[in-house]
Structure 1
Amino acid sequence: MVNAKLIFGGIEGGGTHSWIVLMDGRGEKVAELEGPSTNHWLIGMKECQARIRQLVDDAKVMAGLPQDTTLEGLGLCLSGCEDEETNNKLAAGIFQAYPNLARHVVVGSDTKGSIATACQNGGIVLISGTGSNALLLNPDGKTYRCGGWGHLIGDEGGAYWIAARAIKLLFDEADNMVDPPFSTSQLKQIVYKHFELQDRMGMLDHCYRSFQKAKFAGLTAKISEGATQGDPMCARLLYDAGFALGRHVCALSRHISESLLATDDGLQIVCSGSVWKSWEHMRAGFVDGIQPRCDKDRVIAKYTLLRLAVGAVTSALGAIYMGAKEAGYDLPRDYSRNVRPFFTHVQPTPVALAKVSALTPKTTPRNTPRNTPRSTPLSTPKMRQKFTHDVEEEEEQANGHSNGHANGHSNGHANGHSNGHANGHSNGHANGHSNGHANGHSNGHANGLNNGHSSDYELGYAAGFANGQASIFENAQASGTENGFGFPHAANLLDASSSR
Structure 2
Amino acid sequence: MAYYGGIEGGTTGSRMVILRADGKQVGKSEGPHTNYWHLGMSEAARRIVLLVKDALQNADLPVDTPLKSLGLALSGINTELNSMQMIEAVRRINPNVAERIHACNDAVGTLVTATDENAIVLIAGTGSICKLIRKDLSFVRIGGLGYLLGDEGSAFWIAHQAIMSYIKITEGLYHAQYGIQRLTEAIYKHFGIKHYHELLSHFNENIDKTFIAQLCKYLAEAARDGDPFCKQLFTDAGVHLGRHVSAAVKHADKEGLMAPEGIEVVCCGSVFKSWDLLATGFRSGLKPQHCGDCQQGRINLRLLHITAAVGAAILAAKLECGISIPRPDQVTDFLCEISLTGHDSQRDL
Match of 1:261 in 2: 258
Q: Where do residues 203-214 of structure 1 align in structure 2 (5 Å cutoff)?
A: 203-206=196-199, 208-211=200-203, 213-214=209-210
Q: Are 1:344 and 2:337 matched, yes or no?
A: yes
Deviation at 1:46, TM superposition (A): 5.5
Q: Where do residues 406-425 of structure 1 align in structure 2 (5 Å cutoff)?
A: none
CA contact 2:77–2:105 (8 Å) conserved in 1? yes
Secondary structure of 1:26's match?
Answer: coil
CA contact 1:123–1:137 (8 Å) conserved in 2? yes
Residue 30 of structure 2 is aligned with which of 21, 28, 34? 34
Secondary structure of 1:126's match?
Answer: strand
> What are the ranges of 5 or more consecutive residues in structure 1 without an aligned counterpart?
351-359, 362-381, 386-450, 452-465, 467-500
Deviation at 1:79, TM superposition (A): 3.1
CA contact 1:116–1:122 (8 Å) conserved in 2? no
Deviation at 1:112, TM superposition (A): 2.1
The total of aligned residue pairs comes to 343
Deviation at 1:243, TM superposition (A): 0.4
Deviation at 1:304, TM superposition (A): 2.2
Q: Are 1:22 and 2:15 matched, yes or no?
A: no
Percent same amino acid among aligned pairs? 36
**Cα distance in 1 between the residues matched to 2:43 and 2:180:** 49
Match of 1:159 in 2: 155
CA contact 1:53–1:98 (8 Å) conserved in 2? yes
> What are the ranges of 5 or more consecutive residues in structure 2 without an aligned counterpart?
none
Q: Are 1:330 and 2:321 matched, yes or no?
A: no
| Per-residue deviation, residues 471-497 of structure 1 (Å, max 9, x unmatched) | xxxxxxxxxxxxxxxxxxxxxxxxxxx
Deviation at 1:87, TM superposition (A): 0.8
Greater fraction strand: 2
**Cα distance in 1 between the residues matched to 2:121 and 2:157:** 19
CA contact 1:128–1:157 (8 Å) conserved in 2? yes
CA contact 2:11–2:127 (8 Å) conserved in 1? no
Secondary structure of 1:240's match?
Answer: helix
Please tell me the root mean square deviation across aligned C-alpha atoms, in Å.
3.4
Alpha-carbon distance change, 29 to 301 in structure 1, aligned in 2, over 3 angstroms: same
CA contact 1:118–1:335 (8 Å) conserved in 2? no
Match of 2:119 in 1: 123
**Cα distance in 1 between the residues matched to 2:165 and 2:90:** 50
Alpha-carbon distance change, 270 to 300 in structure 1, aligned in 2, over 3 angstroms: farther
AA in 2 matched with 1:157 = G
Match of 1:315 in 2: 308
CA contact 1:121–1:138 (8 Å) conserved in 2? yes
TM-score, structure 2 as length reference? 0.81
Secondary structure of 1:140's match?
Answer: coil
AA in 2 matched with 1:344 = E
**Cα distance in 1 between the residues matched to 2:48 and 2:193:** 44
CA contact 2:120–2:131 (8 Å) conserved in 1? yes
**Cα distance in 1 between the residues matched to 2:301 and 2:177:** 30
Secondary structure of 1:384's match?
Answer: coil
Alpha-carbon distance change, 97 to 263 in structure 1, aligned in 2, over 3 angstroms: farther
**Cα distance in 2 between the residues matched to 1:85 and 1:210:** 33
Greater fraction helix: 2
Q: Are 1:77 and 2:73 matched, yes or no?
A: yes
Q: Are 1:277 and 2:273 matched, yes or no?
A: yes
Q: Where do residues 372-383 of structure 1 align in structure 2 (5 Å cutoff)?
A: 383=345
CA contact 1:253–1:300 (8 Å) conserved in 2? no
**Cα distance in 2 between the residues matched to 1:114 and 1:184:** 37
| Per-residue deviation, residues 294-342 of structure 1 (Å, max 9, x unmatched) | 2333236222222222xxx211101011112202222222342x22222
| Per-residue deviation, residues 84-115 of structure 1 (Å, max 9, x unmatched) | 21212433566788665544421112232122
Deviation at 1:135, TM superposition (A): 2.6
**Cα distance in 2 between the residues matched to 1:34 and 1:214:** 16
**Cα distance in 1 between the residues matched to 2:3 and 2:222:** 49
AA in 2 matched with 1:241 = A
Question: Which deviates more from structure 2 when the two are superposed, residues 42-51 or residues 294-303?
Answer: 42-51
Deviation at 1:260, TM superposition (A): 5.0
CA contact 2:11–2:126 (8 Å) conserved in 1? no
